[in-house]
Copies of this chain bind each other. A is one copy, B any other.
C-alpha cells in the first residue's frame, strides 16, 4: 500500500556547465533544483508513494521555477512556504578522468529556507499527513533555527506515530574547523528521535567519538552499528561502502542492520555518469523496502540497485521506476529493446 512520505530540507539550484568545460571556458549553464529531501521523496513517488517537501522557497521567479521543478519531479508542494528573496545555489563543473568535478556554492545561509523563522511551519499539518518524515545532516549544519525546526517537527511526527528517518550525511565543509565537536550534540539529538538512520562506521567514529579496535571498514561497521542502534534505540540503520576503482568505475556495497542482524547487498561495480544524488537513491530504496515490508535482503538489494541506476542518470534526482530497478537486480548489461 502506498505511503505518504515527507522530507524537510533545503532546495538548491544546481547550475551545471554543459559537457566538460570549465566555468571560465563556457557561457552556458543548465539548471535544475534538488536537495537530499527532494531526491528522496521524488524517488519514492516513482515507486508509487506520495511525496511531500517541507521547505521555504523565495517568493519570486526563482522560487516559481523551483516549485515548478519539484512538481515536475512528482513532489507535492502543499507544504512549501514561499517567503524571502534568496535561494541556495551551486555551480558544477564536470570532471573527466584524473580531473575531479568541482562544486562552488553561493551563500546559502541567507536562503529563504535558512532564514525561515521559528514558528513558520505548521508542524501539526505535516505530521497529520506523513507516514514517514525524512531529515538530513545537511540541514542540521545550517543554524539553530533550522535545527529547532527539525527537532520540533520530528517530535510532532513521533507523536502522531509517524516514522522518523535521519540521514547523517555529514559534510565537513559545512561544519568548518572543529566540525565534529560542533556537530555532535545536534546529531545526538536527531539520533535520539530517529527510527531509521542512514550512516556508516565513519559517522560513529568521527561524530559520535566511538572507538573500535578493528582496522577493516567492514569489521568496524559490524562492531559499531549495533552499538549505535542500541544506544539510541534505533530500529534500523542502513548505509553503503563505496570505492573508486582504477578504471573509472565505482563499486558500492549496501548494508541494513535490523533486529540484531546485518543484511548486505552484492558489491556492485559500474560506470558513472552523474554521481551526485546516488546516496539519496540508496536511502529511497531502503525506505521503500521498509515501508513495503520487504525482507532485509531484498530491501538492501533493491536499494543498492537504485543507487547504481542513479549514477547513470543526469541530475541529482533519481529517475528510475521500480521496474527499472528490478531489472537491474535481475539482469546484467542489456542491449537496446525495440
CB within 8 Å of B: which residues of A?
15, 19-32, 60-62, 64-65, 67-69, 71-74, 85-87, 89-91, 93, 95-107, 110, 171, 173, 242, 244, 246-248, 270-273, 275-276, 308-309, 311-315, 319-320, 324, 328, 332-338
Contact = CB atoms under 8 A, between A and B. Distances in A.
The 7 A-B residue pairs with the shortest CB-CB distance in the complex, in nearest-first order: A72-B72, A97-B271, A23-B65, A99-B312, A71-B71, A24-B65, A24-B68
Contacts of A273: 20, 96-97
B312 A96 contact: yes
Contacts of A104: 60-62, 85
Contacts of A96: 271, 273, 312-313
A313 B107 contact: no
Given A97-B312, A271-B96, A333-B246, A68 B73 contact: yes
B319 A24 contact: yes
B271 A248 contact: yes
A271 to B, nearest CB: 4
Q: What is the copy number of this chain in the assembly?
A: 6
B107 A86 contact: yes
A270 B19 contact: no
Given A68-B72, A96-B271, A28 B25 contact: no
Contacts of A103: 336-338
Contacts of A313: 20, 22, 96, 99
A270 B248 CA distance: 10
Contacts of A74: 68, 71
25 contacts: A20-B312, A22-B61, A22-B65, A23-B61, A23-B62, A23-B64, A23-B65, A27-B27, A27-B31, A29-B29, A60-B104, A85-B105, A85-B107, A86-B106, A87-B106, A95-B312, A96-B271, A98-B271, A98-B332, A98-B333, A99-B313, A100-B337, A103-B337, A173-B338, A246-B333
Contact of A28 (B30, B312, B328): B30
Nearest to A310: B99
A73 B69 CA distance: 9
